[in-house]
Structure 1
Amino acid sequence: MKGYRSYIALIVVLFGALVLLEYLRPKPVDWTHSYSRVDKIPFGTYALYELMPGIFPGKPVQEVREPIYNLLQSDKINGNYVFINSYFEADSVDTNALLDFVDRGNQVFIAAEGFSVFLADTLQFETEDLGSTSPDSTSIYFTSQPKRKVYTYPKNIEPTYLLANKKAGHVVLGRNRAGYINFIKVPFGKGWFYINTAPLAFTNYQLITLKQSEYAATALSHLPVQPVYWDEYQKVGRVEDQSVFRVLMRHEPLTWAYYVALASMILFLLFKSKRTQRVIPVIEPPRNTTLDFVKAISSLYFNNGDHKNIAEKKIAYFMEHLRLHHHITTNTWNEELQEKIVAKTGADEALIANIFNLVNSIWQSNSIGAQTLIMLNNYLEDFYRQTAIKPKAHA
């Protein structure tokens, strides 16, 4: 177990560093069209939900986290039912419950880009895509306002418009500057449906960034001052459906299977860590390559007798020595490099000058004699002795 402590500590440190980096990293803007009242992202509806008590003074605003049918089973539920979604989804059962709710004299407000077939067919309206994000298609106004103030909502979607049916009693409440209808109210029994195709106009971006909260407040003010039921079910589902283990915890056999698997994994890690011995690495002694280098040079000299070739090898080794041991770049062979070698190594200035002169002479010659090679070797050996690290004297 002791052998794993260093690895465990390393993993913990790395995980902590990752968490810290993730915490300090600037959060990117989330442009998801959530329309949820708890989201403060641009296309959430947190700001509008906070304004609801002011739009309906003295009346409760209740969040709904269950299907339409479940809420409206009781006839005691009365008031305004508000939906703001990307798409309004309702099957035949939910649609019938909603129609009965409005028939009793209540109101339903729906702002969405698309609507279920059951509702659209019953209320006899259709939606069409404009296929354009021009200013006219995203600039909207209320037909009931005499001055017709224009409001502009974000242009990151293809806007839709409504095909109203006057024979069905549809009342036009809003249009865009292109002349297309985007807001109507539809009578049903004793109540009204309010249909709007610009849900982005009710988001935080519209109310806070564009500072046009007046549009959302005016649209909702068409509803009477009654209790409000704010739908969140179509956005985030039920409250109990948020746990990733909801299926396991809902059924007792699956719950026990999960706990047994978790306990088995813990036991396996504990016993495995005690019984497994860390592999002992084989450490080979450092190999001395100096003798190999000497043999290679000696063999080259013995076989070919090419003094210049050997001299160039010694010069290359000298430059490598400067780079590795003194951290001196040898890309350019000039007076500046000569001065840098003297300053960094502390070698005799005359010795360095002799080395530079001799090296330049060798490079310019087609061939050199044995005496020149010996002279170069002596100069370099003197340099290595002068620049060798001396052990500290003990007091």
Structure 2
Amino acid sequence: MRSKYFFFTAVVVILLGLLIYLISSNGGRTYTWNEHYKELSKGPYGLAVVFQLLKTQAKTEKFTLLKKRVQKALPTEPTEKSNYVFVGAGQFLDSADVQTLLTFVYNGNDAFIATQVLPFRLMAKLYPKTCKEDKWENLNYYQDRGVEANFLHPDLRQKKPFDFTYRTTDPDSIYDWHFFDRGYFCDDPDGFVALGQLNGSKTNFVRIRYGIGHFYLHSNPLFFTNLFMINQRGKQYAEAALGHLPAGPVYWDCTSKVNRAVAENMNADGQGRRRRDFNRPSPLSYILSQPPLAWAWYTLLGTTLLYFLVRIKRRQRIIPVLPTNKNNSLAFIRTIGRLYFLQNNHRQLVLQKMKLFLQFVRDRYKIQTRELQEEFVDQLSVKSEIKVERIQKILDLYRAIDFSPEIQERILADFHQQIESFYKNCK
């Protein structure tokens, strides 16, 4: 029974997994409008086009997809000048990741990071202390349906700005377009250098020197998604932005991505200003933002639900083991027989011994004892292998005693011997 439950549970888990897969992949026929920024996704907000563009420009042998954390996969001193690229809604870097990336850039390499939430640990190291704002906070944003973007360098600046319009299933939705506050800019040579703007006034693309390398920070990763890259103008903008990186190997970071809410919560923790905000998603958002962790979470929920469904099913109570029935009538007859023997009541003692004999025949040979006639004698003789004459003698003595009011001790002894001889020799 238990093996059947396990089999049933395994089948349902597999079906549940297939259902989740079909829902998440939309059957391979339609695309989700979520901003997931997946490298191989061809959906509107995937990165398949820009990913393939960089891969082609860097050549296959010089393009590396970081499948482990930055601290373990990014070389701090590559053999030639290289580039680190990250595009996502939010970025999570722990202290070891930050130190690895800083060393990578300090040694003469470049990093391009396009995200709505720059990691606080990284910006605490990059942001110059001499600027007007005494510490780094977060990127600012304003809400609108669409935005115009352009570059500041004369060779890249377009007479007609690049248009970016947010699209989703809701035609009335607006979008948060992020930019760098003016207070983050100052005359410090090691500070931010503006490279691009939104609507002609809000800086969204900057460069900052670190060591002998550079960080290129872009506040609108949406610009690099497939929705805009399939358009000639959108592709032109992405090529110009990424063109700030020098030629060389590319290290694409796909492990540091988290959604915007999780990244903002992490920054709030790092800045020591985390507050209870019921509008923020729970920490479970990070798990759900990572496909392997999300699958593990859904599988855990599914198996837990199935376990409870199986356990709450009505279970039959334990059936107690009943003792075997005891035939107390024989013990009673023996007790009465001893009582008659002590009272010298020979006739009643013979009758009791006859009851024991007939009970023995019924139990052992399954023969009816209501009528002790010739048929009974023949059946008993065949089954017990005792001669008919000896059985008939027992019955004759019994009938004689039954009709006599009193019997002598000699007759009792003879009847007893005949009975005991039957017990000893019967089969």
Q: TM-score, normalised by structure 2?
A: 0.48
Q: Distance in 2 between matches of 1:209 and 1:170?
A: 30
Q: Distance in 2 between matches of 1:182 and 1:211?
A: 18
Unaligned runs of 5+ in 1: 1-14, 249-257, 266-395
Unaligned runs of 5+ in 2: 1-14, 128-135, 167-173, 259-288, 311-427
2:154 is paired with a residue whose SS is coil
1:226 aligns with 2:248: yes
- Pair 1:113–1:240, CA change in 2 (3 A): closer
Whether the 8 Å contact between 1:59 and 1:228 is mirrored in structure 2 is no
2:238 is paired with a residue whose SS is helix
2:103 is paired with a residue whose SS is helix
- Pair 1:193–1:59, CA change in 2 (3 A): farther
Q: Distance in 1 between matches of 2:125 and 2:143?
A: 28
Q: Which residue of 1 aligns with 2:210?
A: 188
**Mapping for residues 67-216 of structure 1, pairs under 5 Å:** 67-72=69-74, 75-76=77-78, 79-124=82-127, 127-133=138-144, 135=146, 138-146=147-155, 147-148=157-158, 149-155=160-166, 156-162=174-180, 163-167=184-188, 168-208=190-230, 212-216=234-238
The structural deviation recorded for 1:145 is 3.4
Q: Distance in 2 between matches of 1:61 and 1:226?
A: 9
| Percent of aligned pairs with the same amino acid | 26
Q: TM-score, normalised by structure 1?
A: 0.52
Deviations 1:218-275, CA, capped at 9 Å, x for gaps? 1111101111011111238999768639999xxxxxxxxx9xx99xx9xxxxxxxxxx
Q: Which residue of 2 aligns with 1:323?
A: none
The one-letter amino acid of 1:111's match is A
The one-letter amino acid of 1:214's match is Q
Q: Distance in 2 between matches of 1:53 and 1:73?
A: 18
Whether the 8 Å contact between 2:82 and 2:250 is mirrored in structure 1 is yes
Q: Distance in 1 between matches of 2:107 and 2:298?
A: 37
- Pair 1:92–1:174, CA change in 2 (3 A): same
2:239 is paired with a residue whose SS is helix
Q: Distance in 2 between matches of 1:225 and 1:25?
A: 39
Whether the 8 Å contact between 2:91 and 2:257 is mirrored in structure 1 is no
Whether the 8 Å contact between 2:76 and 2:103 is mirrored in structure 1 is no
- Pair 1:41–1:126, CA change in 2 (3 A): same
2:153 is paired with a residue whose SS is coil
Q: Which residue of 2 aligns with 1:43?
A: 45
Q: Which residue of 2 aligns with 1:244?
A: 296
Q: Which residue of 2 aligns with 1:312?
A: none
Say which one has the larger Rg: 2
**Mapping for residues 213-292 of structure 1, pairs under 5 Å:** 213-235=235-257, 244=296
Q: Distance in 2 between matches of 1:245 and 1:176?
A: 40
The one-letter amino acid of 1:133's match is D
Q: Distance in 1 between matches of 2:139 and 2:77?
A: 35
Whether the 8 Å contact between 2:58 and 2:247 is mirrored in structure 1 is yes
- Pair 1:221–1:55, CA change in 2 (3 A): farther
Q: Distance in 1 between matches of 2:89 and 2:198?
A: 19
Q: Distance in 1 between matches of 2:254 and 2:60?
A: 22
The structural deviation recorded for 1:51 is 1.1
The structural deviation recorded for 1:92 is 1.9
The one-letter amino acid of 1:139's match is E
Deviations 1:335-375, CA, capped at 9 Å, x for gaps? xxxxxxxxxxxxxxxxxxxxxxxxxxxxxxxxxxxxxxxxx
The one-letter amino acid of 1:150's match is P
Q: How many residues align?
A: 245
Give the superposed CA RMSD. Answer: 4.4
Q: Distance in 2 between matches of 1:110 and 1:184?
A: 10
Q: Distance in 2 between matches of 1:58 and 1:197?
A: 28
